[in-house]
């Protein structure tokens, strides 16, 4: 009798075409789901007959209350090598092995610049105007060359965003709680004296920090008020790094020029969520990791994780 594997949140129906699942067909039946299920009761019912679950990033939480209702579950594969919404203790207690996959920093770096450039040159407004017979040239774009790019975080992604900024001729500075001058100089950027200084001095601010107790709500109303009226804010990291109510208020009141946001407090974003209609906002539906190469890695490694688990030698274990 074959094991059953559920692949969650396959929105684009891309999972089966991104890897060779045929190597599992003798032992595993793979079923994909392309609609997000947020209700825990519905999810528990849906997954009750599955031995393996593959989930994307942190979109679906797996708390003890859910894991305890999935006695058949034996393997949980989550894309990436870090996941804050899985209760590892509950998984271990229930005999569930949790494994991860590699994940490339390239797609979020590229999307960061897509959002930044889209905002700076008003691409959505100008494209819509052209396609609908609107005014020919209705805005004046912001320059990048000579402007300051401020990075909150200078890790794997932030440092690569910095390199692109330098290539544009921007002045780049960075800050995080434990960022050293030596690390900043290694990347070729300036170390901001404080978070407040970075926010006050930057023309573009991009967030590249991991979410944790120290960084949750890092930018609230007071911090957003420090941004220049002409500044832009980009967040492709985690929604909870920015106070969402404060962000919405700042956008509505025009306190700074605009924001490019790829991450939200609720995903998928409800149809009536106020951020869907917020002014001065260029928003994308969490596309930071969504690319052909990254999907090939996610699902290719998921297949490898399943094969290794079946062989009794799990790889890329989390928890």
Residue with tokens 């960022």: 179
CB contact at 8 A, 207 and 241: yes
CA–CA distance, 296 with 301 (Å, rounded to integer): 8
> Quick one: 131 exposed, middle or buried, by C-beta within 10 A (0-12, 13-18, 19+)?
exposed
CA–CA distance, 300 with 15 (Å, rounded to integer): 9
User: In sequence order, what E strands does 187-239 have?
Assistant: 190-191, 204-207, 232-235
In the three-class reduction of DSSP (H, G, I as helix; E, B as strand; rest coil), residue 165 is classed as: helix
CA angle, corner 109, sides to 213 and 259, nearest 5?
70
**Bridge partners of 83?**
none
Which are the catalytic amino acids?
A: 238, 267, 286
293: tokens are 């190469």
């Amino acid at each position: 009798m074959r094991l059953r594997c559920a692949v969650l949140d396959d929105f684009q129906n891309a999972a089966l075409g991104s890897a060779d699942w045929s190597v599992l067909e003798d032992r595993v039946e793979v079923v994909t789901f392309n609609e997000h299920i947020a209700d825990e009761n519905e999810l528990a019912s849906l997954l009750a007959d599955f031995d393996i679950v593959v989930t994307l990033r942190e979109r679906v939480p797996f708390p003890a209350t859910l894991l305890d209702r999935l006695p058949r579950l034996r393997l949980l594969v989550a894309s990436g090598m870090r996941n804050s919404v899985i209760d590892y203790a509950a998984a271990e207690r229930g005999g569930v092995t949790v494994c991860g996959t590699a994940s490339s920093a390239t797609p979020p770096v590229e999307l960061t610049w897509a959002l930044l450039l889209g905002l700076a040159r008003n691409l959505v407004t100008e494209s819509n105007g052209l396609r609908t017979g609107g005014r020919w040239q209705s805005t004046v774009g912001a320059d990048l060359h000579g402007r300051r790019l401020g990075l909150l975080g200078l890790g794997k992604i932030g440092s690569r965003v910095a390199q692109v900024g330098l290539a544009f001729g921007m002045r780049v500075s960075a800050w995080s709680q434990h960022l050293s001058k030596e690390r900043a100089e290694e990347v070729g950027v300036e170390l901001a004296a404080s978070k407040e200084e970075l926010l006050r001095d930057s023309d573009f601010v991009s967030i590249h920090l991991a979410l944790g107790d120290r960084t949750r709500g890092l930018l609230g109303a007071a911090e957003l008020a420090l941004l220049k009226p002409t500044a832009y804010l980009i967040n492709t990291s985690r929604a909870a790094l920015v106070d969402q109510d404060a962000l919405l208020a700042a956008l509505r009141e025009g306190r700074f020029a605009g924001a490019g946001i790829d991450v939200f407090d609720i995903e998928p974003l409800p149809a009536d969520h106020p951020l869907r209609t917020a002014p001065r906002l260029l928003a994308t539906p969490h596309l930071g990791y969504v690319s052909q190469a990254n999907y090939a890695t996610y699902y290719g490694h998921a297949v490898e994780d399943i094969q290794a688990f079946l062989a009794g030698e799990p790889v890329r274990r989390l928890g």
